Amino acid sequence: MSHYIGTIDNPIVGKTAIKKTIKNKEHLIGEMHGILIISGIYGSNKSHQLQVITLCTLCMNHGVRSYDNITKGVHSCRCDKLNSKFNKDKPEHALWSQIKQRCDNSKHIGYKNYGGRGVTYFFAWSIFQNFIADMGRRPTPSHQIDRIDNNGNYVPWNCRWATKEENCRNTRNARQELYKGEMKHIYDIAEKEGIPKRKIDGRWCYGVRGEKLWSK
């Protein structure tokens, strides 16, 4: 990052800054707010508000912003507005939006199982186009976004497109039973034993375990 003006490695301080205002503010350099990182101290404005130099980690552009503003919610340089209305009719956009809601919105019904557990998403996926660039379009309308490691984050190396059934088998609460020395999902056992999934499903719900689950 050394080729950028006012980076963490080479912070700059505005020449017009009021020394009293910026005194002992260098410790703010490196703070992350959303997709913005404070890369330098600029000075103060006419209202004597601290002005800082920020680097957007998505578009890599610098800007000068009020420190008060970025601590109160201004967490981007607006390049994330590339998520335009023209993308909102795409099914992948709805799935991408759901990921962000699960991780960021504490009022979302699924937050306790995602953001509430510390699950987050790849910082570049704040922009829909970056998500699509990594994941591509879903293969079929029945495919969903699935995390390979359910304790991991929504990152390119831990995500895949999977059918609803594949996704269900990969949940934290997947119904598994010891089968021939291995833990198997009950649907896999049903397929191997040639019995209807609804039958083994019903038995599981009634508390049946062990070989009685798949006996014909």
Please, what is the Cα angle at 154 between 152 and 110, to 5 degrees? 85
Please tell me whether residues 68 and 107 are part of one structural domain: no
Residue 7 has pLDDT above 50, yes or no: no
pLDDT per position as a tens digit, 20-73: 445 577 788 888 887 788 888 888 777 778 888 888 766 667 778 888 888 877
Same-domain check for residues 187 and 109: no
pLDDT value at residue 66: 86
Could you tell me which residue, 88 or 150, shows the higher pLDDT?
Answer: 150
Q: Are residues 98 and 163 in the same domain?
A: yes
Q: What is the mean pLDDT of residues 2-17?
A: 36
Q: What is the rounded distance in angstroms from the CA atom of residue 154 to the CA atom of residue 205? A: 31
Q: Is residue 6 part of a domain?
A: no
Write out the residue range of the structural domain in which residue 98 sits: 83-169
pLDDT (0 to 100) of residue 159 = 92
Number of domains in the chain: 3
In a domain, 12, yes or no: no
pLDDT of residue 51: 86
* Residue 96 and residue 152 in one domain: yes
pTM metric for this prediction: 0.47
> For residue range 152-208, what is the model confidence (pLDDT) as tens digits?
899 999 999 988 766 666 554 567 788 888 878 787 888 888 888 778 877 776 677
